[in-house]
Amino acid sequence: MCGVDILGVEGEAAGSAVIEQTERRRKQGLSEKYIVIENVDEFVYCLNTGDEYNIITWNGISKEEIKDYTTFNEFLQDNFQEAIDNSKE
């Protein structure tokens, strides 16, 4: 919607984008507590499934974790607002 692409389970769970990306990044060192929800090439946005349920960015090269959003809802609102703003340009 509005050009926003959030990874999820489509059809069979085993071949879904969210599982494929998460497994790929875990092989690169991503913690088991994170699930990849958006791939931005040089980094990914991940849902923290630990205690906080916040959204972080994770860089596969530096292995750096940065807390970006307090909630998934905040992440979605920001992504949709950015897409809307970009469509007006």
Render pLDDT for 74-86 as a digit per residue (tens, 0 to 9). Answer: 988 888 888 778 7
Q: What pLDDT shows up at residue 81?
A: 85
What contacts 37, CB < 8 A, 6 or more positions away?
6, 7, 8, 18, 44, 45, 46, 47, 55, 72, 75
Q: What pLDDT shows up at residue 12?
A: 56
Q: Cα(first)–Cα(last) distance of the chain, in Å?
A: 18
Instruction: Convert the pLDDT of each residue in 22-73 to its tens digit.
Output: 999 999 999 999 999 888 888 999 999 987 889 999 998 899 999 989 998 8
Tell me the residue type at 49.
T
Helix (H) or strand (E) holding 35: strand 34-39
Q: What pLDDT shows up at residue 31?
A: 94
Place of tokens 């509005």: 2
Could you give the CA distance from residue 40 to residue 7 in angstroms, rounded to a whole number? 11
